[in-house]
Amino acid sequence: MKEIIDLLLQLSQEIKIIKAFLEVFRKTRLEQFNESWIDGQDVMQALHISKRTLQSMRDSNELPYSRLNGKFYYKLSDIENMLETNYSKVTKSGSHGNK
């Protein structure tokens, strides 16, 4: 009888762990849907680039996008990541170096 109770307690703990994992996964998925998206016009204005430059960034996979009904959308986090990746500081000597 004690073995059955121990197994039930162990099963209960494992179910709690699975439940916690699923809750974290669900929140992560919700955060992805809540992320802000902007259209190509807003990207061009924010980065001061032309339509052709934006197209080149898509073509070279430099900037991920989503296309819906012929219109392109971009995640703000992807734009921020791209800017961070290409960030360089000016050192005292005047040369450019990476972060």
Torsion of the alpha carbons at 9, 14, 19 and 20, rounded to the nearest 10: 110
The domains of the chain are located at 1-34, 36-77
Q: What is the spatial distance between Cα 57 and Cα 44, in angstroms, rounded to a whole number?
A: 11
What are the helix (H) ranges across the chain? 2-34, 40-47, 51-59, 76-85
| DSSP 8-state assignment for residue 69 | T
**pTM here?**
0.57
62-78 pLDDT per residue, tens: 999 999 999 999 999 99
35-46 pLDDT per residue, tens: 789 999 999 999
